[in-house]
Amino acid sequence: MRRADANAGYLGVFFLGADPYVYFYLSNGNNAVSMKALNRGQPIMRPTKGTGGVRDPTIIVGGGKEEGRKWYIIGTDLHIGKTSWDAAQRQGSKGIFIWESTDLINWVNERLVVVEDSSAGMVWAPEAIWDPAKEQYLVHWASKFYPTSDPRHTGSPSNIRIRYAYTSDFKTFSSPQTLIDKSPTNIIDLTFLPLDSSGKNFVRFMKDETKKTVFAEVSTTGLFGTWTRPGGNDAIIQSGVEGPTAYLDNQDAKKVHLLLDHYGGDGYRPYESLNPGSNSGWVASGRGQWPANLRHGSVLPVNGTLYEALRKKWGT
């Protein structure tokens, strides 16, 4: 496990159910499951492009020459209050929102980058991870596709699969390919957790959108290695949840936190495990200091300098 003991707290980046904007939360001290809203609960970012709404915001840590000096926030271009779930999957946005920062405080260069062509019904829940083998960012998202004989997307689409592309700058992307296809099962909300800096050991969590469950797979052979589902093909962590996001504990090098979005209820609830590469053994964390109604986002461990800068800028 990666040593993370220099970190002093956590920055949470979420959207809220009816409010598809980017909200920041900061941990109370170095407690991984205790958060308070920054900016008096007002959004940090409101999109000015696309649908005007952003869901599933995720914060991405710079890699390579951007390590320690660049962060990106990317998210889904969707304002569900202005459309329907059916229309959003037939004629939804083919782009992803992107903002960037060199200090976590100033977020600039909002853009909406189209990553799929018109055969896609939507581009949902984009995330990215620095791929040390490729020395670029691996960006991934969930899409379904309509045949060319159905240009208006009125008929039946493919299953939903995970697509990916590479980028060095979140401006230009390689042409997309399929990363995970469990046809006929629909898969959305993929997220990766590196277990160390070897570039080999990863856990990935995703949602089975057919059965409405979240489960984990593990690889010891890299991002494009062999992935296995601990416990077998029916093993799950939890049902009735989505939007998994995982982060290492700052103080206990063995502990991993996993947020699961109870989308039919009060949003994200924290879970924890000492054995993250497993579908069993995740236990609910105490929620006494965990805010209700946070939706699909991500959490970034931050050092004392960054923690203080965030608190000074937006704290109360």
Ligand X SMILES: *[C@@H]1O[C@H](CO)[C@@H](O)[C@H](O)[C@H]1NC(C)=O
Which H/E stretch holds residue 224?
none
Q: Which of 55, 221, 186 is nearest to 127 (CA)?
A: 55
Per CB under 6 A, does 303 bind ligand X? yes
Per CB under 6 A, does 30 bind ligand X? no
Question: Smallest gap, in angstroms, from Cβ of residue 308 to ligand X?
Answer: 10
Per CB under 6 A, does 106 bind ligand X? no
CA pair distance 231, 34, nearest whole angstrom: 31
Applying CB under 6 A, among 29, 64, 68, 281 the residue interacting with ligand X is 68
Question: Smallest gap, in angstroms, from Cβ of residue 71 to ligand X?
Answer: 9
Neighbours of 155 (CB within 10 A): 10
From residue 36, alpha-carbon distances to 13, 160, 190, 258, 311 in Å are: 11, 35, 26, 18, 11
Per CB under 6 A, does 306 bind ligand X? yes
Applying CB under 6 A, among 118, 221, 289, 305 the residue interacting with ligand X is 305
Question: Smallest gap, in angstroms, from Cβ of residue 306 to ligand X?
Answer: 5
Which residue reads 């206990």 in tokens?
Answer: 252
CA pair distance 250, 265, nearest whole angstrom: 29
Decide whether 64 or 68 has the Cβ nearer to ligand X: 68
Per CB under 6 A, does 64 bind ligand X? no
CA pair distance 291, 287, nearest whole angstrom: 8
Name the residue number minimizing CB distance to ligand X: 68
Decide whether 91 or 101 has the Cβ nearer to ligand X: 101
Binding site for ligand X (CB under 6 A): 68, 303-306
